[in-house]
Structure 1
């Protein structure tokens, strides 16, 4: 049985700073309304957000300056000097900001500076300035505090005394893992800023890297917490599922990611599962969804796990989430609704554009030799329906026989590529009575050999995509194929059009490196029109 890491419940986990940074009480803005109004009026299109805790700007975004001579670091410093009042700073305050980091991201060079007071760092107070390639400031994010209020006092405890206070607080059986490091900083409290010894205490028992903030004047523990990042089982619900399907993989206990607090139902950031036959599954008091495969709630766990797996796969490819065209996602912050036990022994699974949700029937086998097994228990079936939802997110109402065939072909390909297995639906199709799978991406079907039925013709597209994957590798093929899907410029694409989009993606992002391979597979071998 998995439990929360015991040290996370230790008395040293105070985290009092949470009360300071999330008290919900807005401080009076230190910048007058006229100053901020003038600043924004002089910079058309600029936006400013306030930090309710500090009363200073949290973020300013827009064309904040004209080009400034010198380096990005110098440009950021010049901007801060010229605009100190809008940030709640004096000229002296700006000069006391010390550069602590610089990095480039998204076309901007970012410079981070630490706020200091009386030569000491103000804990957690820094400012980040983003400068473009013309040395124009485009972005400022800040956690600066305009007024560092420090109580006065004459007597100070020694660093040795502070160390002992921390060790005593950790308990008589404390076992150090390495030496204690320290710095002196100003730390925020609800009563003002306190000069403290910031000690970092690594221990084996209680396990952690403990951060202590001890008042240098009276030895009071102002705050303390464990900064070690545990893979905590306590807040990581678990369930038994099949990693692929019951025929190819054994039941495995997995972590169900992104389940929303209080972690008792299968309602997460990316998926909510609806059981059409019963109330929602409930986790036990150890946050486990532990159901046998014949229990109605097992399919909820299986589909939640599968959707999370597929969602992450597509996000790694650049998927934006179900946020624009998916009805369910728009209403639930990108979440996908997934339904299990749809219908009565229903032999299918589907994505419904009207609801923006995916659905899985129980199947009618055994009992019906021509039926299917439970469709919720196979990951690639879930991935196939998920891909339909992805396509509709970018291209709602794709139509035409070839448009629908591409829908199916893309869905087959990505479902199989995710699991690195060209066979689709090998569990849900009973082997003895049927061929043992729904479709196979590793095929040699030519475009002219297929009918206009979407699933049939889609096999030619999926097969071509799979052979491209075999030729150039999964990462390149997934990138090219997903890109070709995104840039479709019509709701009625033909196979020729989609193939041309593949060539376009290759030309723009890969310099035409794979042109010959694409043309050979899609045109010569598959007969897709030139």
Structure 2
């Protein structure tokens, strides 16, 4: 049964809200202050005259008709929330809460949905509007609604990507038009969903420009994360198997009696030596995967009293029964908080999942296509959505999938079940994405919140801070997957990975739960389901504090505020302090998953304050290609001096920055890189900032990142050493030979506003200038010829400067910029 059809019917039937005569944000705030008084709380979008978040008493009179009250509020404050005149909002879902309701709206331009274009209104039980979250933004340009590229061509482009695989069944492939926000512009794009490929832990969605055919972004939507005998929590915390009643299983009527309830359908993945057609890069392979089926059957008394709970048994029916129990247990928990149902019911829950790929050694096509080939353990669990059910009807069923691990069966661990189920709840409510972009670079906040909430609500249900005591012990003897009992902070303990970077948020929740107990659970839930898909730590903090103060008391909210401040998640500047022990690990994304150029910014920057008398600031790190998408890496370092940190702005898909020096990192040894900032003479004492960006297509795995300074004479050319060296001005040093810059910068306009940067000509001119080669990057007025660096040294610099130092704040990029990595529970 699918509930999405009902949601779609509501969306089509509801009257749309159109932009009223514009109020400025200041006028809206003045009006709301008159209603809410000093309790009004709000956040503005960086670099935009719009509001992201509001909390307080936002309406005067109680409303019986919430939708009418919502229309009135949005019409009055449309401009302040970023609603353009050509954009319409429609109610996508009304989500009941134990103390009110949330109305969730989707933005459309000419009937075409806007990715990330969401507004949520949180009403209390009296019909007073209390919280507003907005993911809207005004656009400087909106593409015409007519595509120049057909859906079939867009799908073919997506399937040509080396990381994208799809079922051979064309019914699994789907493409629909959307508007994708990119740097203040609304790009008409085909959203291509290639369907679930469990064998490869994949469910890719790709956005292809509907006019140029260029891939704008791509991401993997998999989140890797009557009587029955079960482990009540898991074999470590509750080691004795007990009998429980499966209250959510309908009474027996006839055989076969399987584990199918109204909300959950439990099944096991068995090896029937079947081959399933799979399309990958234009080729169709018949792949050996296990078959998800219902095998456990009730006995003569209609019970499921299996005892085959061997940790490594590949097809034990105990796991199938235990999964039904744990999945219904967490479903019932969420229903006590006001959650009604998932997008699709019953949710498929599969156990004993194994795959035909050895993740440690890579693909073996012979084994992959052999019906008698080996199925390898999967030390993971995941939520695998069927499609973007927020905007479109899913093409297949949502599911939570649990691996048969090397030393443990992930389905035995209730913590893991509750964690993965929370991903399904988020997918049905706020839809938190993996990452986004702001003026500090890539922001992993939405994905970290998604993972953090999954840990938090598993903790609320079990009442302890350990996550996966049993499953974790199977991964490494003696250990759990993680514990929330820690002192992790932003950004010191963050690495650009959603699970690790969720810890400051999730651990703060544990501290508050340990201190205040169950009264904070409902406020956390109400805040979670009222977020938009690209909410970050700052919004989640404000929303949670508003709910705690309204539902508990001001003293508890003050305690929560103090804990959030201790974790530095209230207003975290993502700059790691240098001059001390190296930062152990950091992940960087590539152009293959993030549709930006000429480089992709990093998740973190680094900062060091230097005393007088120093000659150089040196950034050193190890780096290698990683992730599921393949591709090469090209580390590119940005330096900035002064009290103002590095800042980024975006024009369409082009990244701009305010750096003083932008230079390709030098590979000094195999996989070891460094970059140096120096000037003629001593450096000024004060603040210096650095970031490792990536001009390559692959994901970058970095280790031992150190930003240090010294008074030694630099062994590289410095700014001011000779007339060819410049100050960078945010677009790279000027030691690119002048003839290359002139040829690129003064080209005649061609096509849609582009400059005459021809790839062959660019490469030839860069080689003539002593570089190994070059390529055209950026678009429109920002199209540039980028020269690559010499092997083992030299400077790979951007040819053709477009501007001087670029200050100012980011025009917030509204799309979730998307990760492609294995997700562990």
Secondary structure of 1:447 counterpart: coil
The answer as to 2:339 corresponding to 1:319 is yes
- Counterpart for residue 482 of structure 1: 525
Unaligned runs of 5+ in 2: 1-63, 66-97, 101-125, 127-225, 271-292, 355-375, 387-396, 436-443, 573-825
Contact 2:259 2:294 in 1 (8 A): no
Q: Distance between the aligned counterparts of 2:569 and 2:536, measured in 1?
A: 13
- Counterpart for residue 270 of structure 1: 263
The 5 Å alignment of 1:31-430 reads 237-249=226-238, 250-262=240-252, 264-277=257-270, 279-292=294-307, 293-294=309-310, 296-322=316-342, 326=343, 329=344, 332=345, 335-343=346-354, 344-354=376-386, 355-365=397-407, 373-396=408-431, 398-400=433-435, 401-430=444-473
- Counterpart for residue 523 of structure 1: 565
TM-score by length of 1: 0.50
Contact 2:258 2:294 in 1 (8 A): no
Q: Distance between the aligned counterparts of 1:245 and 1:399, measured in 2?
A: 29
Number of residue-to-residue matches in the alignment = 282
Q: CA deviation at 1:527?
A: 4.4
Contact 2:430 2:530 in 1 (8 A): no
The answer as to 2:508 corresponding to 1:464 is yes
Residues 375-403 of structure 1, C-alpha deviations (whole Å, 9 max, x = no match): 00000100000000011110236231110
Secondary structure of 2:472 counterpart: coil
Evaluate the alpha carbon distance shift between residue 389 and residue 279 of structure 1 in structure 2; reply closer, same or farther with a 3 A threshold: closer
Greater gyration radius: 1
- Counterpart for residue 47 of structure 1: none
Secondary structure of 2:473 counterpart: coil
Q: CA deviation at 1:279?
A: 4.4
- Counterpart for residue 96 of structure 1: none
Q: CA deviation at 1:276?
A: 1.6
Residues 106-129 of structure 1, C-alpha deviations (whole Å, 9 max, x = no match): 99xxxxxxxxxxxxxxxxxxxxxx
Residues 455-505 of structure 1, C-alpha deviations (whole Å, 9 max, x = no match): 0011111100111111211x21211211110221x2111111100101121
Q: CA deviation at 1:433?
A: 4.0
Q: Distance between the aligned counterparts of 2:503 and 2:261, measured in 1?
A: 33
Bigger mean CA deviation after superposition, 270-279 or 339-348: 270-279
Q: Distance between the aligned counterparts of 1:504 and 1:318, measured in 2?
A: 18
Q: Distance between the aligned counterparts of 1:396 and 1:505, measured in 2?
A: 20
Q: CA deviation at 1:251?
A: 0.7
Q: Distance between the aligned counterparts of 1:479 and 1:406, measured in 2?
A: 17
Q: Distance between the aligned counterparts of 2:550 and 2:571, measured in 1?
A: 22
Q: Distance between the aligned counterparts of 1:482 and 1:259, measured in 2?
A: 26
- Counterpart for residue 14 of structure 1: none
Q: CA deviation at 1:523?
A: 1.4
Contact 2:233 2:415 in 1 (8 A): yes
- Counterpart for residue 138 of structure 1: none
- Counterpart for residue 97 of structure 1: none
Q: Which has the higher strand share?
A: 2
- Counterpart for residue 494 of structure 1: 536
Q: CA deviation at 1:444?
A: 1.0
Q: Distance between the aligned counterparts of 2:551 and 2:520, measured in 1?
A: 13
Q: Distance between the aligned counterparts of 2:453 and 2:432, measured in 1?
A: 15
- Counterpart for residue 221 of structure 1: none
Contact 1:451 1:457 in 2 (8 A): yes
Q: Distance between the aligned counterparts of 1:429 and 1:509, measured in 2?
A: 36
Q: CA deviation at 1:445?
A: 0.5
Evaluate the alpha carbon distance shift between residue 260 and residue 388 of structure 1 in structure 2; reply closer, same or farther with a 3 A threshold: same
Secondary structure of 1:341 counterpart: strand
Q: Distance between the aligned counterparts of 1:345 and 1:360, measured in 2?
A: 11
Q: CA deviation at 1:321?
A: 1.4
Q: Distance between the aligned counterparts of 1:472 and 1:398, measured in 2?
A: 30
Q: Distance between the aligned counterparts of 1:424 and 1:430, measured in 2?
A: 11
- Counterpart for residue 504 of structure 1: 546
Q: CA deviation at 1:285?
A: 1.0
Q: Distance between the aligned counterparts of 1:388 and 1:340, measured in 2?
A: 17
Contact 1:444 1:526 in 2 (8 A): no
Q: Distance between the aligned counterparts of 1:462 and 1:412, measured in 2?
A: 7
Unaligned runs of 5+ in 1: 1-61, 64-104, 108-132, 134-236, 366-372
Q: Distance between the aligned counterparts of 1:353 and 1:495, measured in 2?
A: 24
The answer as to 2:451 corresponding to 1:451 is no
- Counterpart for residue 440 of structure 1: 483
Evaluate the alpha carbon distance shift between residue 388 and residue 432 of structure 1 in structure 2; reply closer, same or farther with a 3 A threshold: closer
Evaluate the alpha carbon distance shift between residue 392 and residue 498 of structure 1 in structure 2; reply closer, same or farther with a 3 A threshold: same
Q: Distance between the aligned counterparts of 1:479 and 1:106, measured in 2?
A: 9
Q: Distance between the aligned counterparts of 1:510 and 1:433, measured in 2?
A: 40
Q: Which has the higher helix share?
A: 1
Q: Distance between the aligned counterparts of 1:503 and 1:397, measured in 2?
A: 19
Q: Distance between the aligned counterparts of 1:510 and 1:348, measured in 2?
A: 37
Bigger mean CA deviation after superposition, 453-462 or 393-402: 393-402
Q: Distance between the aligned counterparts of 1:282 and 1:444, measured in 2?
A: 47
Contact 2:519 2:552 in 1 (8 A): no
- Counterpart for residue 641 of structure 2: none
Q: Distance between the aligned counterparts of 1:410 and 1:239, measured in 2?
A: 29
Secondary structure of 1:428 counterpart: helix
Q: CA deviation at 1:510?
A: 3.7
Contact 2:504 2:569 in 1 (8 A): no
Evaluate the alpha carbon distance shift between residue 436 and residue 285 of structure 1 in structure 2; reply closer, same or farther with a 3 A threshold: same
Q: Distance between the aligned counterparts of 2:485 and 2:300, measured in 1?
A: 46
Secondary structure of 1:421 counterpart: coil
Secondary structure of 2:491 counterpart: helix
